[in-house]
Chain A
Amino acid sequence: MVTESVNVHSDTSPPQRLGLAVLERRDAGRNYTRLVLAAPPAWESLPGQFVNILCESDPRAAAASERRPIEWDEGGEWPVAAGLELGRGKWPVVRRPLSISRVLRDGAGVRLEVLVRQVGPGTRFLAARPVGAPMDVVGPLGNHFTPPDDDRLCVLVGGGCGVAPIFGLADWVRQLGRPCVLILGATTLDEVPAVFRSPPAATGDAVAPCDGMADPDLGSVEAILSTDDGSAGFRGTAIEAARRRLKDAGDDRPVALYGCGPERMMRALARLAERRDAPCQVSLECFMGCGIGVCLSCAAKVHDPASETGWTYRLTCRDGPVIDARDVVWE
């Protein structure tokens, strides 16, 4: 077995466009797929950063990555300007931004994990890439979470696909030797993007650590599961689970909150942090046109005392996705 150590370097690579091969494809709960990509040895990214992956708008590349026979003669005729395949339904055009979930070093190699939630044709395409297929990746992009510089308790809350960067952040915080609790929220057990050795117990009103998470394997990190329907772990929202866990930790215990998930969950986390007067960083999720700061579509409303209106827009791709929860104008 290869010992894997977690990437803890603090400098991140400049964004590049790279062809990364799929090393592994693992199911990770209903509609979720965990893809492991082979990144170059020099790859440096930090939890919170993301990659923007092409869903092959060029049929030649799509054919190559699906290992379909390429029907035109590459060496002879000038390749046709095929553009998009109009006949194939809603073929995706722009890339899909995916949080980097974990970065694992295995000898000289770097294994980059992303979590794909199959929502539409683009993400279904990504989730179906076979092992060995090249992925057209731009990254690492965006900013990252910042762990506290003291030993306060870090409470990391992830909802749905938002657990992806939270796993990587748990790796980092653990590596730094800081105390850490992970709270994973989903509507039901099937929707938890993780694999368990045995079905995790339903604990009803009790907030208790859940043992037996096999993928990802976060080692000794305390993980608490919450489901809306109570099918596993705490019955209720991840925020309610976090609130109870914080109560157990004691009102005087300094904490830092981190989150990635649906906006309603992040808003509730921000309120919890405010009541507790704790620092809170959240990663915002939104549709992106370019991911590199040029299309200006991923604008998020933030407080701005310098502006007449008291707010301004900040680009999620360039100035985010991680943001201090106090800066967000929650709507």
Chain B
Amino acid sequence: MTRPEIDLCVTLGRIAMKNPIATASGCAGYGEELARFYDPSVLGAIVTKSVTLEPRQGHPPPRLAEVRAGMINAIGLANVGLEAFLDEKLPALAAYDVPVIVNVAGSTREEYLEVCAALDAAAGVAGIELNVSCPNVKEGGIEFGLDPAVLTRLVEDVRAKVSRAALIVKLSPNITDIAVTARAAVDAGAEVLSLINTLRGMAIDPWTGRPALTNVIGGVSGPAIKPVALYMVRRVWEEVAGPRDVPILGLGGIQFAEDVVEFIRAGATAVSVGTANFVDPLTGPQLVDGLREALQRLGLASPRDLVGALNLDR
């Protein structure tokens, strides 16, 4: 039996990826840290830590705690700021043969517009991922991400500033029906939907009563949230992304190649991997190899053949 030649290439909006595996924002720094372990060029894309207009120190520690089957964090959007990102981080990232997607957070509409416009003009930015879903920072954009009318206005305004880079909107799961914000984002011009960001959560020391995080609440990530993320990808794919032909960048708790297959079957075109990078810095390349193996097993030539493919027969 001849096996089909496997081609892992996918297209995420206008971004050509050599495979569907990307790093998730906040879990791969600006690429240089993971580059100590492997060549980032083997990835499909790198999504950077959030960039804001001004540098941010982030929240006082503790910023991260382990919870059952996952972790909870409130880093507080610590980042070097737009200027240092463009001057120091982006040139190094752009040197790798991998599309760079820059995650952007802001506290005001003006901040989003200024940062997005500057990034769109910068060489080496393949995509802009609008973070309208950081659960930990009041001014981190979540108020833009939960009200569909507010989200529509922001995405429309950003759309007008972004012409070269692909515009990706990262949706919050902290909402009753994620299809509502997904629709608002697509109507306003989002080319790609990225979901899900972390789920709001808490951890408390039972004996001292002290919250595990200084920020008290944080975002839950890791394997614990995978079923929720899968459902939300499916919901958005059925209601918005599938019918409108908008690709989904799926994420939430992915750790093994089987998880990637599940996300693609739910409707994702590509996936991002976050928390798993902390457990194993080599997760990215392992998922690329693992996905190839999985497709071989399924007798498929491309992950594109698997997007949305559920088998509902019993």
Residue numbers of A with Cβ under 8 A of B are 14-17, 54, 57-58, 78-81, 83-84, 86, 90-95, 136, 138, 286-287, 289-301, 309, 312-313, 318
Contact = CB atoms under 8 A, between A and B. Distances in A.
A185 B36 CA distance: 36
Contact of A295 (B70, B73, B223, B262): B73
Contacts of B65: 287
B66 interface: yes
| Contact-size category for B | 35 or more
Interface stretch (B55-63, B122-130, B161-169, B238-246): B55-63
Contacts of A138: 281
Interface string B223-257: 11010000000000000000000000000010111
Interface stretch (B4-12, B22-30, B111-119, B136-144): B22-30
A95 B223 CA distance: 15
Interface stretch (B179-187, B190-198, B271-279): B271-279
Nearest to B62: A287
B218 to A, nearest CB: 10
Contacts of B84: none
Nearest to B34: A294
Interface string B26-41: 1111000110110000
B275 A93 contact: yes
B303 to A, nearest CB: 16
B279 A81 contact: no
A43 to B, nearest CB: 16
A219 B63 CA distance: 42
16 contacts: A54-B279, A81-B256, A84-B223, A286-B62, A290-B281, A293-B29, A294-B29, A294-B34, A294-B277, A295-B73, A296-B29, A296-B78, A297-B73, A299-B63, A301-B60, A313-B57
Interface of B: 26-29, 33-34, 36-37, 49, 57-58, 60-66, 68-71, 73, 75, 78, 222-224, 226, 253, 255-259, 262, 275, 277-282, 294, 297
A69 to B, nearest CB: 21
B36 A14 contact: yes
Nearest to A14: B36
Given A292-B33, A312-B57, 6 more contacts: A57-B279, A289-B73, A290-B281, A294-B278, A295-B64, A296-B58
Which of A136, A289, A318 counts the most chain B CB atoms within 10 A? A289
B64 A287 contact: yes
A84 B69 contact: yes
B258 A290 contact: no
Contacts of B69: 83-84, 86, 91, 93
A84 B63 CA distance: 23
Contacts of A15: 36-37
A289 B58 contact: no
B103 to A, nearest CB: 13
Contacts of A297: 61-64, 73, 75
A290 B278 contact: yes
Contacts of B66: 90, 92-94
A84 B256 CA distance: 11
Nearest to A298: B61
A93 B67 CA distance: 8
A138 B278 CA distance: 10
A121 to B, nearest CB: 10
A293 B33 contact: yes
The 7 closest A-B pairs by CB, nearest first: A81-B258, A297-B64, A290-B278, A294-B29, A293-B33, A297-B63, A84-B69
Contacts of B34: 292, 294
Contacts of B255: 57, 83
Nearest to B64: A297
A301 B75 CA distance: 14
Contacts of B226: 83
Contacts of B78: 296, 299, 313
Contact of A93 (B61, B75, B222): B222
Contacts of B37: 15-17, 292
Contacts of B64: 287, 289, 295, 297
B61 A299 contact: yes
A36 to B, nearest CB: 24
A318 B63 CA distance: 16
B260 to A, nearest CB: 9
B198 to A, nearest CB: 13
A276 to B, nearest CB: 30
A259 B294 CA distance: 50
Given A293-B29, A294-B29, A295-B26, A81 B259 contact: yes
Contacts of A16: 37
Given A17-B280, A138-B281, A318 B33 contact: yes
